[in-house]
Structure 1
Amino acid sequence: MLSSMLLGRYIPGESVIHRLDPRAKLISVILFMIIVFFAKDWLGYGILILFVLAVTKLAGLSVRFLFNGLKLVLILLIFTFLMHIFLTKGGTILVDGGFFTIESNGLITGIYITIRLALLVVITTLMTLTTSPIELTDAIEKLCKPLKAVKIPVHEIAMMMSISLRFIPTLMDETEKIIKAQSARGSTFMTGSLKSRITALVPIFIPLFMSAFKRADEMAIAMEVRGYKGEEGRTHYRVLNWQLKDTVAIIILLILGLILLWVRQ
């Protein structure tokens, strides 16, 4: 399951979403993160779900493929849903368990917040699946360029963010290999008391941290050998080119926001 995690992975392709300027995709994701809070009822969330499904189709990906790759996120979604069910009060009492109650406001709020979180995860994953780490680094650097006036190392920050995002699937793959190796040696992770399960995780975390530090050290040495000195004296092999389709993508997001505001009223 860990090896199938999609967040941070890049799948090459020639779809409409793949061909968009990475700056347009980054701006679109930020706009979507704002627009998703405009939805306040079933109609608004239905429009957002249809929009995300359309983007998934334009990206040349299947909904089943996304669902299989985001199974680990289901734990967070379920936890969020349960927290709202038991802690948010108001409305009609649906279940009265004595020391706890489930009320209608908690149920509705839990569903809305869970859908909102799922949409944010999916749209962010679609951006990483259709944008290479190098393109994402260039997009962040270009968009944050004005911050250089106040001496903020934009290039270095963008590089660190890109490397961190790229390391997520690498560490997931490494974790699954370690789990399989420990299981082959007789270790068990899903049986016994809670204390024994936590203790069984120690043989996983130690080699995982060692592997992460080793990879980071190897990358630092490789960058130093190649003469990497930050932004100083660097040029760009791939020049970003903003086109009409990128402007259209931003306009579509703005129209979506206006529609949701109209529906909200």
Structure 2
Amino acid sequence: MIGNITLGQYIPGESVLHRLDPRSKIIWTALLMVAVFIINTWQEYVMMGAFVAILLVISGIPIKQSLKGIKPLMLILAITAILNIFFVQGTPLVKIGPVVISYEGLLSAIMLFFRLVMLVIVASLMTLTTTPMAMTDGIERMMKPLERVGVPAHEIAMMMSIALRFIPTLMEETGRIMKAQASRGADFDTGNILKRIKSFIPVLVPLFVSAFKRADELAEAMEARCYCGSKGRTRLKQIRFTRLDLVASLAGILFLLILFGTRFLMISH
């Protein structure tokens, strides 16, 4: 499960999504995630699912790679689905003693699953098609107006990009530590929840030590290269909006109009 984290990973490519300005991808990722939370009918789910599938095909990212991020969330998904199935009131489908499975509860659990899948794919596509440096530049340029009120835009953008970049690194480190502990007789898979939580304590201590060591090494490397924040900083590659970003934005706006326009048409009728 540790190796299934896709957030923060980048896969090189020359697809349309790879060539978009990082600011476009950040903005549209946020808009699509909001849209995924707003949709509530089967028609909207089908349309959003088809749009996300088209984005996945355009990106050139393997479907298996994009769906890997769902596996670590399966426990949360299972618990939430069970709560929806057994505790949402509605038309009874199955009754086992005091436990009643309703049609509405089952429908809610299925919709929750598809909602989570689309959220993971949309969030993963942004990091899988955007380099950490481009992400930093995009966030910094978007926060640039806040510098007038004293907000350190560059430093915040750098911290966010470093955090994203080190998520897969720390996950790999966690996997190595768990394998080393398992070879010494540690058991992470048996026992109740409290016992499993306690079994992870020997993993957390070396993981924190490793994280602080990596942070110290990164700070020394940045200092050795005379890094001093955004003051006097230049860039080899300048990000800029292109015609491709305009076309992609128009396509996204058209999709959202169609997606939610059908809802208003149904309400009006």
TM bin (shorter chain): over 0.9
Aligned partner of residue 77 in structure 2, secondary structure: helix
Are positions 1:226 and 2:219 aligned together?
Answer: no
Residues 22-81 of structure 1, C-alpha deviations (whole Å, 9 max, x = no match) = 111111111212222442211110111111111111111222332235321233322332
Match of 2:267 in 1: none
Match of 2:124 in 1: 125
Identity of matched residues, %: 46
Q: Give the drift of 1:209.
A: 0.9
Gaps of 5+ in 2: 265-269
The TM-score with structure 2 as length reference comes to 0.91
Correspondence list, 1:163-242, <5 A = 163-242=162-241
1:40–1:264 CA contact under 8 A, matched in 2 = no
Larger mean Cα displacement after TM superposition, 198-207 or 158-167: 198-207
Aligned partner of residue 94 in structure 2, secondary structure: strand
Match of 1:31 in 2: 31
2:67–2:117 CA contact under 8 A, matched in 1 = no
The TM-score with structure 1 as length reference comes to 0.92
Aligned partner of residue 19 in structure 2, secondary structure: coil
Gaps of 5+ in 1: none
Residues 213-240 of structure 1, C-alpha deviations (whole Å, 9 max, x = no match) = 1111111121122222221121122100
Match of 2:245 in 1: 246
Could you tell me how far apart the structure 1 residues matched to 2:6 and 2:219 are? 25
Aligned partner of residue 72 in structure 1, secondary structure: helix
1:39–1:264 CA contact under 8 A, matched in 2 = no
Aligned partner of residue 144 in structure 1, secondary structure: helix
Could you tell me how far apart the structure 1 residues matched to 2:80 and 2:153 are? 34
Are positions 1:94 and 2:99 aligned together?
Answer: no
Could you tell me how far apart the structure 2 residues matched to 1:219 and 1:9 are? 18
Correspondence list, 1:85-164, <5 A = 85-89=85-89, 91-164=90-163
